[in-house]
Amino acid sequence: MNKKVQVQDLGLRDYKATWDYQEQLFQETLDLKIRNRREGLNLDTPNHFLFVEHPHVYTLGKSGDISNLLVDEKVLAAKGATFYKINRGGDITYHGPGQIVGYPILDLDNFFTDIHKYLRFLEEMVILTLAEYGIKSERSPGETGVWLDVGTPFARKICAMGVRASRWVTMHGFALNVNADLGYFDMMIPCGIKGKAVTSLNVELGKKEVDMDEVKQKLLKHFVILFKAEMNEKTEV
């Protein structure tokens, strides 16, 4: 089993271009798994972890409800935002500058074949990272992602998640609000869950800005421990 993970920080990159790149890596891994099975080979399948920031964009999962987007395309265009229907689970999600988006493209056969455990580990990675900033976060029963003050009138989401998996190969991932412009969340019902607020790490810390690279390094540190992974040197593409 190959537990090495190639990390790439893509910087600020268009959502569709990043989606296409994800699909390319995802398909390469699937093709290798199929070849291994067909030809009786045992070639290592790769694992990737992409970091990216996106320009303002709204994405709707395959089971999502378009009515959770509260504005039309003209309003989105005026705000410099785009919209895509995509093939992950979950409902509507916003991505934008100041948000760390992580796309692990892993062959879970290299780690463990349990998609629920995979999601819980991603949540735990975020929970442990936020704890380093003195922020107590947790899971909300029945709602994927990471939240603050669960079970109170002040419950608010700080990290959204939605994944796709085929033959135990994953894509899509998580979006952690670090220095996010929360006004963009007002144009949708986040994840289709009414009456729940959204927050960002800088807001919770009372800071104008939090060091994004520092947060990424903390996320990777906890990912390595949880997944018993080995990170290859970061590269940019």
Q: Which domains does the chain have, with CATH numbers?
A: 4-235 (3.30.930.10)
**b/e per residue, 145-184, with b = 16+ CB within 10 A?**
bbbbebeeeebbbbbbbbbbbeebbbbbbbbbbbbbebeb
Confidence of residue 205 (pLDDT cuts 50, 70, 90): very high
> Among residues 52, 127, 191, 212, which one is catalytic?
191
Mean pLDDT check: name the lowest of 28-37, 81-90, 171-180: 81-90
**Residue 159 is a catalytic residue:** no
Dihedral sign, Cα of residue 74, residue 180, residue 85, residue 7: positive
98-155: pLDDT as tens digits: 999 999 999 999 999 999 999 999 999 999 999 999 999 999 998 889 999 999 999 9
**Amino acid letter, residue 219:** L
Measured CA to CA, the distance from residue 33 to residue 168 in angstroms comes to 10
Measured CA to CA, the distance from residue 214 to residue 237 in angstroms comes to 20
Contact 56, 81 (CB under 8 A): yes
Q: What is the pTM of this model?
A: 0.93
The predicted model gives 161-175 an average pLDDT of: 94
Measured CA to CA, the distance from residue 59 to residue 69 in angstroms comes to 9
Indicate whether 172 pLDDT > 80.
Answer: yes
56-93: pLDDT as tens digits: 999 888 878 888 888 888 888 898 899 988 878 677 88
Indicate whether 195 pLDDT > 80.
Answer: no
Indicate whether 5 pLDDT > 80.
Answer: yes
Q: In the chain, what's the furthest Cα-to-Cα distance?
A: 57
State residue 221 phi and psi, 5-degree precision: -60, -45
Structure tokens given for 19: 């989606």
**Amino acid letter, residue 204:** E
